[in-house]
Chain A
Amino acid sequence: MKKINKYKVYRGCVAAGKWILFALVSFVILFPVYWIFVSSITPPGELFQTPIDYIPDHPTLESYKFLIDNVGLLTKIGNTVFIVGLTLVVSTVLCAMAAYGFARFRTKGISLAFAFIVATMLIPEVVTARPLYEFLRAVNLYDTYPGLILLYISTVIPFTVLILRNFVDEIPVSLEEAAAIDGASFTQRLFTVVLPLMKPAIATVCIINFVTCLNNFFTPLFYSNGIQVLSVAIVQLPLRDNMYGIPWDLVSAMGWIILLPIIVFVAIFEKQIMDGIMAGGVKA
């Protein structure tokens, strides 16, 4: 009898410990996120209260309205969606093609090209920034959509090619050989046999790249000026006269506009994101 009780106490402690750790991690992550949300719906004047009022007495969407009317929020959202969307489409097509080439044709030259792509992962953005800036100016791509999209595509290439190539490697060649015997041409084999099989890998890569592109700050900061995306806009918000230091009223509102879709996105694709991160160890 006594032994069973001891065991029960032990199990109880373990369960309680788990819940305490669980609560701690949740609090550290979610509380700041909640604070950003609350700040965004608090009237600007009431942000200067101590202690902080975590349930605002006069919730308002005034900061959001100001962003739309005076800061051009909708244009910035449009820019972000356009650049990220086009980047995802074009990069996926180019990288899927390349992945197939790298996986199926293992000549010396092709393998060298693959090694080059992987090696360029090591070159940090700060090292290439100034010459790249001058190059873009010289070819009139600075501060243009094509220029930005090209650079966004470039940042996702190594990871995407690596993941997709490994995936194509797993697809048996015999499937394509069977199609070839049936008279399918090279392009037919690529588009009707291999590409449909790549769908799950493409989905994972797109989900991860979406986050990578949304988080990209370096590229839009240094290679554009007039075309603003959300990540740059948030550091260049105007200071209203009742604020000092940083325009926290507007920053929190814009921060929440960026955060809300991310939270929804993460909740929907939790499994794919986990798989994608574990497959490639990508930096967002």
Chain B
Amino acid sequence: MAVSKKSMRWIPWLLILPVVLIRIFTTLYPILATIKNSFYDIRILAGVNEFVGLANYMKIFHDPKVITSITFTIIFVLVSMALHIILGVGLAMILNMKFKGRRFIRTIVLIPWAMPTVVIGMAAKWAFNNDYGLINDFIRWFVPAYQNSWLINTGSARGAVIAMDLWKDLPFFAILVLSGLQFISGDIYEAAKVDGANGIQCFFRITLPLIAKNVLTLCIPFTLWRLTSFDLVYAMTSGGPGEDTALIAYRITTEAFTNLNVGYAAALAIMLFLVMALISWINIRFMNKIGD
């Protein structure tokens, strides 16, 4: 719409001002402050606050706790994303099936999506308990006298965290894949059937190529969310056993709010942000290339 009168020029700015101001104060200002803090050695408990240049960044690579966190974060992202893609496409196919229970199943998959992650984390903490938990109780239906303290051992604790992450977010991923599936016209499958293609051929030759780009695009935000995942580990394992399930976001908040190493936490946060920005940038470049 043409706004001809000069006096009307301030109107759009007035309309957008509140949201822009809120976002400036809650994201732009704090991230700039974090960048500045990352060059300082700020330890509140020791009363230290001095400029140290890149020392905080150098420290990252010699800190065993952080290296453990980074290692688990990478494992967590890779394993969880791989399973998201495989199981997510599978679940989307189930949600797309034509049958009587469709509305029911579409409703129940929304429950994990709508549940607060901390509730899932707290429930999981008890569910994975060796003696009284749901998981071992279920396993004992098939393997009597089964014993496993899931959250005590590194491997199984990490596996349990990834499993709960999938339980929470897989339905959400599947619904987004489903939105791509619904655009595929039924005519294509009819034509393929006439030509004698079976179900498996239809899936690999028609469905998968048509949703591949959609699924790849989804992987970017889901990867970024995994990188900043905090609630689940906070509620479920508190980073344990030891530091073995302390995802990097959990590590950063521990440094910033518990150990009060504000400068060091800022350097970690900025490293995380740079990795995320890099992933987004690669994604934009990559998507433009295969877009045509």
Say which one of A46-54, A68-76, A195-203 lies at the interface with B: A46-54
Whether A52 contacts B1 by the Cβ 8 Å rule is: no
CA A188 – CA B283 in complex, angstroms?
43
Taking a contact as CB atoms under 8 Å apart, the answer to whether B132 and A131 are in contact is no
B86 CB-CB contact with A under 8 Å: no
Task: Evaluate contact between A255 and B235: CB separation under 8 angstroms.
Answer: no
When chains A and B are docked, how far (Å) is the Cα of A52 from the Cα of B269?
A: 43
Given contacts A29-B108, A126-B249, A154-B26, contact A218 B114 (CB under 8 A): no
* B72 proximal to A (CB < 8 A): no
> Are A105 and B132 neighbours in the complex by a CB distance under 8 Å?
no
Structural contact, B122 and A127, CB atoms closer than 8 A: no
Please classify the interface of chain B as helix (H, G, I), strand (E, B), loop, or mixed, using the class held by over half of its residues.
helix
Q: Is the CB of A97 within 8 A of B18?
A: yes
A262 touches B111 (CB 8 A): yes
A86 vs chain B, min Cβ distance (A): 14
Q: Name the segment of B9-17, B58-66, B75-83 touching the other chain.
A: B9-17
Contact (Cβ within 8 A) B132 A26: no
**A186-B108 Cα distance, complex, nearest whole Å:** 45
Least CB distance, A135 to chain B, in whole angstroms: 7
Interface size on B (CB < 8 Å)?
Answer: 90
Interface secondary structure of A, over-half rule = helix
Specify which chain A residues have a CB less than 8 angstroms from the CB of B114 in the assembled complex. Answer: 211, 214-215, 262, 265-266, 273, 284
Closest chain-B Cβ to A201's Cβ sits at a distance in Å of: 16
Q: Is A7 an interface residue (CB 8 A)?
A: no
Per-position 1/0 for B248-292, Cβ under 8 A of A: 010011001100001001100110110011001000000000000
Task: Kindly identify which residue among A26, A97, A116, A263 contacts B105, using a CB–CB cutoff of 8 Å.
Answer: A26
Contact with A along B148-187 (1 / 0, CB 8 A): 0000000000000000000100011001101100000000
Q: Are B118 and A127 in contact (CB under 8 A)?
A: no
- When chains A and B are docked, how far (Å) is the Cα of A36 from the Cα of B262? 39
The smallest beta-carbon distance between B174 and chain A, in angstroms, is: 10
CB < 8 Å: which of B1, B119, B121 contacts A176? Answer: B1
Q: Which of A124, A150, A151, A173 contacts B272 (CB 8 A)?
A: A124
> Which residues in B have their C-beta under 8 angstroms from that of A28?
167
Contacts of A113 in B (CB 8 A): 16, 20
Contacts of A252 in B (CB 8 A): 123, 126
Interface string of A81-119 (1 = CB under 8 A from B): 000000000000011011011101101011001101100
Contact flags A27-45 to B (C-beta < 8 A → 1, else 0): 0111111011001000000
**Would you give 15 A-B contacts (Cβ < 8 Å), ordered by A?**
A26-B105, A30-B108, A50-B137, A95-B19, A98-B18, A101-B14, A104-B12, A127-B270, A127-B273, A128-B34, A173-B1, A255-B122, A259-B119, A273-B114, A284-B113
Which B residues are closer than 8 A to A by beta carbons?
A: 1, 3, 8, 11-16, 18-20, 22-23, 25-31, 33-34, 37, 91, 94, 97, 99, 101, 103-119, 121-123, 125-127, 129, 131-132, 134, 137, 140, 167, 171-172, 175-176, 178-179, 218, 221, 224-225, 227-228, 230-231, 234-235, 249, 252-253, 256-257, 262, 265-266, 269-270, 272-273, 276-277, 280
